[in-house]
Protein backbone atom coordinates (compact mmCIF):
# COMPACT_ATOMS: atom_id res chain seq x y z
CA UNK A 1 0.00 0.00 0.00
CA UNK A 2 1.59 3.33 -1.04
CA UNK A 3 2.21 6.08 1.50
CA UNK A 4 -0.74 8.31 1.99
CA UNK A 5 -0.45 11.94 0.87
CA UNK A 6 -0.70 12.99 4.49
CA UNK A 7 2.34 10.86 5.42
CA UNK A 8 4.34 12.26 2.50
CA UNK A 9 3.44 15.80 3.52
CA UNK A 10 4.52 15.09 7.11
CA UNK A 11 7.87 13.68 5.88
CA UNK A 12 8.40 16.70 3.64
CA UNK A 13 7.66 19.14 6.48
CA UNK A 14 9.98 17.26 8.82
CA UNK A 15 12.80 17.33 6.24
CA UNK A 16 12.25 21.04 5.58
CA UNK A 17 12.33 21.81 9.30
CA UNK A 18 15.57 19.89 9.77
CA UNK A 19 17.22 21.59 6.80
CA UNK A 20 16.15 25.01 8.02
CA UNK A 21 17.45 24.25 11.51
CA UNK A 22 20.79 22.98 10.25
CA UNK A 23 21.29 25.92 7.92
CA UNK A 24 20.88 28.25 10.89
CA UNK A 25 23.82 26.71 12.77
CA UNK A 26 26.35 28.91 10.98
CA UNK A 27 24.31 32.01 11.71
CA UNK A 28 24.03 31.08 15.39
CA UNK A 29 27.77 30.36 15.61
CA UNK A 30 28.58 33.72 14.05
CA UNK A 31 26.26 35.56 16.44
CA UNK A 32 27.82 33.83 19.44
CA UNK A 33 31.37 34.38 18.16
CA UNK A 34 32.10 30.66 17.94
CA UNK A 35 34.75 29.86 15.34
CA UNK A 36 34.87 26.50 13.59
CA UNK A 37 37.93 24.49 14.70
CA UNK A 38 39.16 24.01 11.14
CA UNK A 39 38.88 27.72 10.39
CA UNK A 40 40.66 28.64 13.62
CA UNK A 41 43.49 26.20 12.89
CA UNK A 42 43.93 27.61 9.38
CA UNK A 43 43.90 31.19 10.69
CA UNK A 44 46.48 30.45 13.40
CA UNK A 45 48.66 28.60 10.88
CA UNK A 46 48.74 31.62 8.58
CA UNK A 47 49.39 34.02 11.46
CA UNK A 48 52.20 31.79 12.73
CA UNK A 49 53.93 31.78 9.34
CA UNK A 50 53.64 35.56 9.07
CA UNK A 51 54.99 36.07 12.58
CA UNK A 52 57.86 33.65 11.99
CA UNK A 53 58.85 35.46 8.80
CA UNK A 54 58.67 38.83 10.54
CA UNK A 55 60.79 37.54 13.43
CA UNK A 56 63.49 36.32 11.04
CA UNK A 57 63.48 39.55 9.06
CA UNK A 58 63.91 41.58 12.24
CA UNK A 59 66.78 39.36 13.40
CA UNK A 60 64.89 37.98 16.38
CA UNK A 61 65.88 34.50 17.55
CA UNK A 62 63.35 31.74 16.94
CA UNK A 63 63.22 30.96 20.68
CA UNK A 64 62.30 34.58 21.45
CA UNK A 65 59.60 34.39 18.84
CA UNK A 66 58.21 31.23 20.44
CA UNK A 67 58.05 32.86 23.86
CA UNK A 68 56.57 36.16 22.70
CA UNK A 69 53.91 34.53 20.52
CA UNK A 70 53.20 31.50 22.69
CA UNK A 71 49.56 31.23 21.56
CA UNK A 72 50.60 30.51 17.95
CA UNK A 73 51.66 27.03 16.80
CA UNK A 74 55.44 26.58 16.99
CA UNK A 75 55.52 24.57 13.77
CA UNK A 76 53.93 27.45 11.84
CA UNK A 77 56.29 30.01 13.39
CA UNK A 78 59.28 27.84 12.50
CA UNK A 79 58.07 27.31 8.94
CA UNK A 80 57.65 31.05 8.41
CA UNK A 81 61.03 31.77 10.02
CA UNK A 82 62.76 29.15 7.86
CA UNK A 83 61.10 30.34 4.64
CA UNK A 84 62.14 33.93 5.34
CA UNK A 85 65.68 32.79 6.17
CA UNK A 86 65.99 31.05 2.79
CA UNK A 87 64.52 34.08 1.01
CA UNK A 88 66.87 36.50 2.76
CA UNK A 89 69.94 34.37 2.02
CA UNK A 90 69.03 33.98 -1.66
CA UNK A 91 68.46 37.72 -2.09
CA UNK A 92 71.29 38.81 0.24
CA UNK A 93 68.96 40.88 2.41
CA UNK A 94 70.02 42.28 5.76
CA UNK A 95 67.92 42.16 8.88
CA UNK A 96 65.73 45.14 9.69
CA UNK A 97 66.20 46.27 13.27
CA UNK A 98 62.84 46.66 15.06
CA UNK A 99 62.05 50.20 16.19
CA UNK A 100 59.55 49.15 18.85
CA UNK A 101 59.94 46.74 21.76
CA UNK A 102 58.33 43.31 21.28
CA UNK A 103 54.64 43.13 22.16
CA UNK A 104 53.56 41.75 25.51
CA UNK A 105 52.10 38.23 25.45
CA UNK A 106 48.38 38.13 26.15
CA UNK A 107 47.44 38.00 29.79
CA UNK A 108 50.40 40.06 31.00
CA UNK A 109 49.95 43.48 32.52
CA UNK A 110 51.43 46.44 30.72
CA UNK A 111 54.24 48.21 32.50
CA UNK A 112 53.58 51.79 33.43
CA UNK A 113 56.03 54.36 32.14
CA UNK A 114 58.27 55.75 34.88
CA UNK A 115 57.49 59.34 35.88
CA UNK A 116 59.73 61.93 34.22
CA UNK A 117 62.82 62.97 36.15
CA UNK A 118 62.67 66.32 37.91
CA UNK A 119 65.64 67.60 35.92
CA UNK A 120 63.75 67.01 32.68
CA UNK A 121 60.91 69.30 33.75
CA UNK A 122 61.99 72.85 33.02
CA UNK A 123 60.16 75.85 34.37
CA UNK A 124 58.76 78.08 31.64
CA UNK A 125 60.62 81.32 31.16
CA UNK A 126 58.81 84.60 31.29
CA UNK A 127 59.24 86.60 28.09
CA UNK A 128 59.01 90.29 27.45
CA UNK A 129 57.21 92.10 24.66
CA UNK A 130 59.82 91.35 22.00
CA UNK A 131 60.27 87.68 22.96
CA UNK A 132 63.33 88.46 25.11
CA UNK A 133 63.82 86.53 28.32
CA UNK A 134 63.49 88.59 31.50
Ramachandran sector of residue 4 (left: φ over 0; alpha: ψ -120 to 50; beta: rest) = beta
Confidence bin at 118 (pLDDT 50/70/90): low
87: closest CA among 48, 60, 50, 57?
A: 57
Q: What is the pLDDT of residue 130?
A: 60
Mean pLDDT, the chain, rounded, equals: 79
Query: Is residue 121 exposed (0-12), middle (13-18) or buried (19+ Cβ within 10 Å)?
Result: exposed
Express each pLDDT in 5-62 by its tens digit: 788 888 888 888 877 776 667 676 777 777 888 888 999 999 999 999 999 998 988 9
43: closest CA among 78, 71, 81, 84?
A: 71
Instruction: Report the predicted TM-score, pTM, of the whole model to 2 decimal places.
Output: 0.54
Amino acid sequence: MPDSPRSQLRTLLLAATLLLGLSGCDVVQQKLGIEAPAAKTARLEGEGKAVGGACRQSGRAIEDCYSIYSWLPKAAIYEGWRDMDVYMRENKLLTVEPQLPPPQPPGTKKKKAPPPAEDAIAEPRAEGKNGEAR
